[in-house]
Chains A and B, each alone.
Chain A
Amino acid sequence: MRLEKRSHSSSAAMLLAPLGAVAFTLMISALLVLWAGAPVGQTYGLLLKGGFGSVFALSETLTRAIPLMLTGLAAAVAFKARLFNIGAEGQLYVGAMAAVAVGGLHGGTGFDLPPALLFLLMMLAAALAGALLLLGPALMKAKLGVDEVVTTLLLNFIVLLLVSLMLDGPMKDPSAMGWPQSVALLGDLELSKLIEQTRVHTGLLWAVALAVGLWALMKYTVLGFDIRAVGANPRAAAFAGVSVTRTVVLVALLSGGLAGLAGAIEVAGRTSYLTLDMSPGYGYSGIVIAMLAGLHPLGVVLGSVFVAGVLVGADSMSRVVGVPTYIADVIVATSLISVLVATLLTQYKVKLK
């Protein structure tokens, strides 16, 4: 068996690839559902209903999709420039810490700013924190050739330990009866709900707006060209006059900033304080979503809703048919592998010897 490069890949095939990959994933996962002793049709029906079948289900899915959308955008923009940022998880947490620091800690210190201004400061601080966390690995990659996959991945664990330290120290909420959680944000700084009686908040609008903005940036601006050129062929980009180092640094600020915002919006929209288990791996799932979306910012919006729907739907499904919720993780992980294979097949064809 060998792979031969196709002379051209049709755009229809490239659009169909993710859909085919998802269909293939559901077929594979059906075997696991059968193994767990549940009827496949009913299980998938419940999964769909639990994720999208009611206003409540949809609102839960969208709530879950907000941080995923932002980490997905963070991964998409970085990967487009071949900056493999695996550290969105850590950037999300430093963003959340910065949000709590600006929006919660100063309570009663006479640091009285109008809530609108404070809110803006809080978001800026979160974006800046995430951006700065990725700046180090990006500079080390550009200047010294240090592999950013290793540095960004390892920083995640360092950040989690830092969060743990903060929750036991300066950010500890004295009224939390010993639970490891931070002080809460000022009430004025919390994002309002998008639909009454649900948890979905206006952070969704922020995330979608950022996706559209990123799409326009990539498509219509000089910086967008720089990012795509540096990712596709850094030598040719440098020859054309693009500063590769500058572009990588800007991408790092953008990507880290988006992941940092994910943390701040999660705190301001959902939890109102920081805990150690605030993110069940949003940073890592963002990578899956970016790949599912073919690194397209608008595709990330769809991809994050899909992944969130699977995660939320699996919860309610497992309560009824007894298939463990881990099936959701299997589906998400398998769809990543399938989409990678499907993308490969749009560019190569398999020849049997």
Chain B
Amino acid sequence: MPEPVLTLTGITKRFGDLVANDHISLELKRGEVLALLGENGAGKSTLVSILFGHYTADAGHIEVHGKPLHPGDPKAALAAGIGMVHQHFTLADNLSVLDNVMMGSEPLWQPFTRHAQARDKLMAVARQFGLSVDPKARVGSLSVGERQRVEILKALYRGARILILDEPTAVLTPQESENLFEVLAHMVAQGLSIIFISHKLGEVLRVSNRVAVLRGGKLVAQASALGTSQAQLAQWMVGHAIDAPVRRPAKSVGEAVCVLRQVSTGAGRERLNQVSLNLNAGEIVAIAGVSGNGQVALAELLCGTRQVSSGELTFLGQAMPPHPAELVALGVARIPEDRHAVGVVGDLPVWENAVSERLRSPAFSRWGWVRRAHARLYAKQVMDAFDVRGGGPLVPARALSGGNMQKLILGRALMHPSLIASDSIANSSTNPAMVQRNTPRLIIAHQPTWGLDIGAVAYVQAQLIAARDAGAAVLVISDDLDEVLTLGDRVAVMHAGEMTAANPALDWSREAIGLAMAGVAAHSGAHP
């Protein structure tokens, strides 16, 4: 049995009333990959931040190689050989790989930087762990996978023996993920130990030796990856058995609701280049791709916050109006990528956010004055029908959890306010079952389940499928390949602003999608 390199004992951290970490004790052994699994808010990030010295634990202690680690001091963590690879890279785009690696590792009072020496050391480390890299390349010109490699090298260069990877595959294509897993295997073989943080069950079982599951700040389970099923992991994560969403193909596909013909817009990484796509009633088209390949441009275009620069964009046979309020009035339901930054105005109350898209419609304003009673009633109905919890219509939207915020956005998008009759104002106790949903014609859902817990993911996906079955055309744009394959009746892949043909989901293999995400054979569609 190899000796433990890292021991956490009774780590506890409170934020006010919230216990983010509740007496967590863990061991990491030499040459081991330990997966830290848990939903958002389970306490993974807090635990890692304590380990790396960003937070100080309220109780408990940490030992590295048998020696106590000075708490709350990132320098001590670095000196003890703990390296961290953040989900959002901490690299300077305008500097070379070598400069990025050296940054912060040299004393300031040294008159000259020792480039040659550092370069030799970097190349030695790279060779040792099988991470090929060009030290002169500018980081800005590297792909996401290569940047991650630089992040890892940075940690190894500083002598890390314990590597913490925070959601490392979130930004990678399937092929890039495979490469990463190979590198990890290589490092482990050399005696390094790795903590791998993720919420993707499949890859956790694939790369790790042991899995530790956090839920509500507590360590609820530890198990060897061998012989543990995904269903078991999911149950530990959520606390009860979960029905995995099942593919349900479209029943009857209607005619085209929204048509893009050779549409181009934008510039740089966020652009569309000659994209053609039909969105049909009663069908979900799912767009896969590594984020930053034009998905934002596509979503903004269809949400009315970006203009077409060339090509043709039609909605129900007419040119699509490039204005959010007109689109909403025509029956376009919009779910933006970033609910905090774009979906809601966090400082304003829930009821104002519930009507913000339709505030100019006669349902909610007259001669420039807001019909507050109507607006609040509608907000109440949305909250009831879509199970938005965490305070009434008067609390600021920022106080809602991510899942409830997403339900609010989904609810206001899917629920038409024409249902508010004057009698329901008088009788404001509404029965959720009584609220009919006037299904929108088109739904644009950009990363609709990003960062949600498993229960909320299932809820949002079920709502999208229900809307499709009621005849809406649905576009889902997602980084999550599982989501794309679960929801999509047809699937297209974006790379560098271009889009493959949208072929039936069953015609795509994961490998083919991965290749298309990497830009190989971007135009030739699916390769069975």
Which chain A residues have a beta carbon within 8 Å of chain B's beta carbons?
A: 4, 6-8, 220-225, 228-229, 232-233, 235-242, 353
Contact A241 B304 (CB under 8 A): yes
Chain B proximity of A167: nearest CB distance (Å): 41
Taking CB atoms, residues of chain B closer than 8 Å to A222 are 359-360, 365, 368-370
When chains A and B are docked, how far (Å) is the Cα of A229 from the Cα of B18?
A: 30
When chains A and B are docked, how far (Å) is the Cα of A221 from the Cα of B305?
A: 24
B365, closest chain A residue (CB): A222
Which chain B residues have a beta carbon within 8 Å of chain A's beta carbons?
A: 15-18, 56, 72, 303-305, 323-325, 328, 334, 336, 341-348, 352, 356-357, 359-360, 365, 368-370, 372, 399
Task: Give the residue of B17, B360, B370, B372 whose beta carbon is less than 8 angstroms from that of A241.
Answer: B360
Chain B proximity of A21: nearest CB distance (Å): 21
When chains A and B are docked, how far (Å) is the Cα of A228 from the Cα of B352?
A: 11
Contact B324 A239 (CB under 8 A): yes
Contact A232 B15 (CB under 8 A): no
Taking CB atoms, residues of chain B closer than 8 Å to A241 are 304, 323-325, 328, 356-357, 359-360
Task: Give the residue of B324, B334, B341 whose beta carbon is less than 8 angstroms from that of A233.
Answer: B341
Contact B348 A229 (CB under 8 A): yes
The interface centre, meaning the residue of A221, A223, A225 with most chain B CB atoms within 10 A of its CB, is A225
A240, closest chain B residue (CB): B356
Further pairs besides A232-B347, A236-B342, A241-B325: 8, Cβ < 8 Å: A221-B368, A224-B370, A232-B345, A233-B341, A236-B345, A236-B356, A238-B324, A239-B334
Given contacts A4-B15, A222-B365, A228-B348, contact A236 B360 (CB under 8 A): no
The 8 A-B pairs at the shortest CB distance, nearest first, are namely A241-B325, A241-B324, A240-B356, A232-B347, A233-B345, A236-B345, A232-B345, A229-B345
When chains A and B are docked, how far (Å) is the Cα of A233 from the Cα of B342?
A: 8
A242, closest chain B residue (CB): B356
Taking CB atoms, residues of chain A closer than 8 Å to B356 are 225, 229, 236-237, 240-242
Taking CB atoms, residues of chain A closer than 8 Å to B399 are 8
Contact B368 A236 (CB under 8 A): no
Contact B347 A233 (CB under 8 A): yes
Chain B proximity of A218: nearest CB distance (Å): 11
Chain B proximity of A32: nearest CB distance (Å): 37
When chains A and B are docked, how far (Å) is the Cα of A30 from the Cα of B344?
A: 46
Given contacts A241-B323, A241-B324, contact A225 B359 (CB under 8 A): yes
B324, closest chain A residue (CB): A241
Given contacts A233-B345, A239-B342, A241-B323, contact A225 B368 (CB under 8 A): no
Taking CB atoms, residues of chain B closer than 8 Å to A4 are 15
Taking CB atoms, residues of chain B closer than 8 Å to A238 are 305, 324
6 A-B pairs in the complex with CB atoms less than 8 angstroms apart: A7-B17, A220-B369, A228-B347, A229-B352, A235-B342, A238-B305
Contact A232 B348 (CB under 8 A): yes
B18, closest chain A residue (CB): A7
When chains A and B are docked, how far (Å) is the Cα of A232 from the Cα of B344?
A: 10
Task: Give the residue of B343, B360, B365 whose beta carbon is less than 8 angstroms from that of A239.
Answer: B343
A226, closest chain B residue (CB): B359
Chain A proximity of B436: nearest CB distance (Å): 24
When chains A and B are docked, how far (Å) is the Cα of A241 from the Cα of B305?
A: 8
When chains A and B are docked, how far (Å) is the Cα of A223 from the Cα of B324?
A: 17
When chains A and B are docked, how far (Å) is the Cα of A225 from the Cα of B17?
A: 34
Contact B346 A232 (CB under 8 A): yes
Given contacts A7-B16, A229-B348, A241-B325, contact A236 B341 (CB under 8 A): yes
When chains A and B are docked, how far (Å) is the Cα of A228 from the Cα of B342?
A: 15
A216, closest chain B residue (CB): B369
Taking CB atoms, residues of chain A closer than 8 Å to B344 are 233, 236
When chains A and B are docked, how far (Å) is the Cα of A240 from the Cα of B323?
A: 10
Contact A240 B370 (CB under 8 A): no
Taking CB atoms, residues of chain B closer than 8 Å to A239 are 303, 305, 324, 334, 336, 342-343
A231, closest chain B residue (CB): B347
B372, closest chain A residue (CB): A220
When chains A and B are docked, how far (Å) is the Cα of A232 from the Cα of B341?
A: 10
Task: Give the residue of A221, A229, A232, A235 whose beta carbon is less than 8 angstroms from that of B369.
Answer: A221
Chain A proximity of B409: nearest CB distance (Å): 10
When chains A and B are docked, how far (Å) is the Cα of A29 from the Cα of B357?
A: 49
When chains A and B are docked, how far (Å) is the Cα of A162 from the Cα of B86?
A: 56
The interface centre, meaning the residue of B72, B324, B346, B399 with most chain A CB atoms within 10 A of its CB, is B324
Contact A220 B370 (CB under 8 A): yes
Taking CB atoms, residues of chain A closer than 8 Å to B368 are 221-223
Taking CB atoms, residues of chain A closer than 8 Å to B359 are 222, 225, 240-241
A238, closest chain B residue (CB): B305
The interface centre, meaning the residue of A222, A232, A241 with most chain B CB atoms within 10 A of its CB, is A241
When chains A and B are docked, how far (Å) is the Cα of A241 from the Cα of B336?
A: 13
B399, closest chain A residue (CB): A8
Contact B324 A240 (CB under 8 A): yes
B328, closest chain A residue (CB): A241
Taking CB atoms, residues of chain A closer than 8 Å to B357 are 240-241
When chains A and B are docked, how far (Å) is the Cα of A353 from the Cα of B54?
A: 13
When chains A and B are docked, how far (Å) is the Cα of A277 from the Cα of B473?
A: 67
Given contacts A233-B345, A235-B341, A240-B357, contact A221 B15 (CB under 8 A): no
The interface centre, meaning the residue of B305, B334, B356, B368 with most chain A CB atoms within 10 A of its CB, is B356
When chains A and B are docked, how far (Å) is the Cα of A8 from the Cα of B394?
A: 13
Chain B proximity of A109: nearest CB distance (Å): 40
